[in-house]
């Protein structure tokens, strides 16, 4: 940017301290910038983007969120109101809702995008990338833009500028991939505090401003995990989580199904579990089973507001792909089960004993002395059948509401109700955030009561039985011990 342009701009004074100061100056390639709500981290990272574009000719900076619309209503408001001087020429042109970039006189650009338009991101190269509300992103949403971190613009003295990607967010659960990577040393972790925000905290007198006192009161009125995350910046699970004493994502979530000494999958056969839903998510989980009756969740279809016809199509695709021996279904919708059967799917009613089902899940999650267990989830297994192929199927509406988008995330939010003084009442969990866990209950109960290993083909009923004649699951008990009668 030339000197004449600088003189015309009335710059906004900025005070950065703590982690906000660090992010302005650090040059690490990958950075996680996190902390409580209201620490000023967005203003700091946006100021870095503006300074970077102003001082490096031809620099390309990408600002993005999960969706382009959400970027407009949040980050761009802060950028134009609190970072860019009011008389800066980059503000000329389209309204931020319709803007694709901010263009500087020195040929630098700040590009705006969302992961709902990935082709725009893939078609270019960048020097600095900042992902906002990065807690919403999955691994692909982060790694795709990072792979475009290769523009290498040159400073005025001819040196190639450092390349950097920053993920900015408030904390989430301790199993989130971002904090897991940061704690593993794969990203620089910068943790802000409310004291870093000069609007709220006076550093010399060590006192809160009137605005700061008011905002602290708002955060102090939060409860549970929200308070721990947004007030204190901690990556914590929901308080009173039902399975918090056994659930460990570092052990129960695996990158792929194990293979044997010959390199073949240990899975011998598959079955599926189904929990119906519309306003709350419907879920189909596909489990692979090895010779030791260990369950591996290899596919999750996890969506809200989808019709039963859509679910039937997903199940038919699962039937073609995995050839599950059975679909173990929530018994509360017998009409849906009949429609599955009419489509040629072997659908049976699940055992609905919740307490026993939770105990089955708990027993499978418990680690043996050698560190193994009886239940695993394959990472990034949420898919849906679209246009003749399986694609990544994360429900964007659930994501926007910060609701779980897979079964693993439910384990931190499936909680016991609390007494007036906040103590968990361990009788019956709150009936929320349990859709994938319900599927898991059905699956564990099914596996617990089986005393045979079925072939991955059509079940063979004795000649002349109702099962042989009709092919229906009502005859399931004719083939297995009588204690499986609850499946009828």
**Tens-place pLDDT, residues 7-48:** 333 444 578 999 999 999 999 999 999 999 999 999 999 999
Co-location of 290 and 409 in the same domain: yes
272 DSSP 8-state letter: E
Q: What share of the chain is helix, strand, coil (3-state, %, to 5)?
A: 35, 20, 45
Co-location of 275 and 180 in the same domain: no
Co-location of 38 and 153 in the same domain: yes
Co-location of 263 and 189 in the same domain: no
Compute the CA torsion angle 4, 8, 12, 13 (nearest 10 deg).
60
Q: What is the CATH number of the domain that holds 27?
A: 3.40.50.300
Q: 327-329 and 269-275: which strand pairing?
A: parallel
What's residue 225's pLDDT?
79
Helix (H) or strand (E) holding 178: helix 177-183
Answer yes or no: is 92 within a domain: yes
Answer yes or no: is 210 within a domain: no
Answer yes or no: is 235 within a domain: no
What's residue 244's pLDDT?
83
Co-location of 259 and 175 in the same domain: no
What's residue 448's pLDDT?
87
What's residue 149's pLDDT?
96
All residue ranges of the chain with pLDDT < 70 are 1-13, 238, 400, 402, 422, 451-488
Give the global pTM: 0.56
Q: What's the domain count of the chain?
A: 2
What's residue 268's pLDDT?
94
Answer yes or no: is 206 within a domain: no
What's residue 485's pLDDT?
37
Task: Please state, as a whole number, how many other Cβ atoms lie within 10 Å of the Cβ of residue 208.
Answer: 17
Is 395 in contact with 405 (CB distance < 8 Å)? yes
What's residue 400's pLDDT?
67
Boundary of a domain, candidates 156, 176, 197: 197
Co-location of 160 and 257 in the same domain: no
Is 181 in contact with 187 (CB distance < 8 Å)? yes
Enclosing domain of residue 35: 3-197
Co-location of 264 and 174 in the same domain: no
What's residue 142's pLDDT?
95
């Amino acid at each position: 940017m030339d000197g004449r342009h600088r003189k015309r701009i009335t710059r906004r004074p900025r005070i950065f301290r703590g982690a906000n100061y660090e992010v302005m100056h650090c040059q690490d390639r990958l950075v996680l910038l996190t902390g409580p709500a209201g620490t000023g981290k967005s203003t700091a990272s946006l100021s870095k983007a503006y300074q970077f574009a102003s001082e490096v000719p031809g620099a390309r900076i990408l600002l993005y969120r999960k969706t382009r619309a959400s970027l407009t209503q949040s980050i761009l408001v802060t950028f134009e109101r609190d970072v860019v001087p009011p008389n800066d020429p980059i503000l000329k042109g389209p309204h931020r809702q319709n803007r694709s970039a901010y263009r500087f006189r020195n040929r630098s650009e700040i590009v705006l995008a969302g992961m709902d338009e990935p082709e725009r991101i893939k078609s270019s190269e960048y020097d600095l990338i900042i992902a906002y509300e990065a807690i919403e992103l999955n691994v692909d949403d982060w790694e795709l833009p990072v792979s475009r971190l290769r523009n290498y613009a040159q400073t005025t003295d001819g040196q190639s500028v450092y390349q950097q990607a920053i993920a900015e967010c408030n904390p989430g659960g301790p199993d989130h991939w971002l904090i897991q990577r940061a704690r593993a040393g794969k990203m620089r972790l910068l943790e802000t505090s409310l004291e870093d925000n000069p609007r709220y905290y006076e550093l010399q007198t060590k006192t809160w401003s009137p605005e700061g006192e008011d905002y602290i009161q708002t955060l102090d009125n939060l409860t549970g995990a929200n308070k721990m995350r947004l007030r204190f910046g901690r990556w914590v699970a929901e308080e009173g989580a039902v399975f918090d004493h056994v659930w460990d994502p570092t052990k129960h979530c695996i990158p792929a199904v194990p293979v044997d000494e010959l390199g073949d999958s240990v899975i011998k056969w598959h079955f599926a579990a189904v929990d119906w839903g519309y306003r709350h998510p419907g879920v189909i989980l596909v489990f692979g089973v090895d010779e030791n009756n260990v369950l591996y969740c290899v596919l999750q279809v996890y969506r809200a507001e989808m019709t039963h016809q859509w679910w039937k199509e997903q199940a038919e695709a699962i039937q073609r792909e995995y050839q599950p021996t059975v679909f173990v279904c929530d018994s509360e919708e017998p009409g849906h089960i009949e429609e599955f059967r009419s489509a040629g799917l072997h659908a049976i009613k699940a055992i609905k004993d919740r307490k026993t089902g939770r105990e089955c899940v708990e027993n499978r999650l418990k680690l043996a002395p050698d560190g193994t267990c009886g239940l695993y989830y394959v990472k990034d297994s949420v898919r849906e059948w679209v246009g003749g192929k399986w694609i990544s199927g994360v429900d964007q509406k659930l994501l926007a509401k910060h609701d779980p988008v897979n079964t693993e995330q439910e384990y931190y939010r499936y909680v016991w109700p609390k007494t007036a003084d906040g103590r968990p009442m361990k009788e019956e969990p709150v009936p929320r955030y349990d859709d994938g866990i319900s599927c898991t209950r059905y699956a564990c109960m099914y596996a617990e009561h089986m005393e045979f290993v079925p072939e991955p083909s059509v079940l063979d009923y004795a000649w002349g039985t109702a099962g042989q004649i009709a092919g229906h699951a009502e005859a399931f008990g004719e083939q297995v011990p009588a204690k499986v009668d609850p499946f009828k």
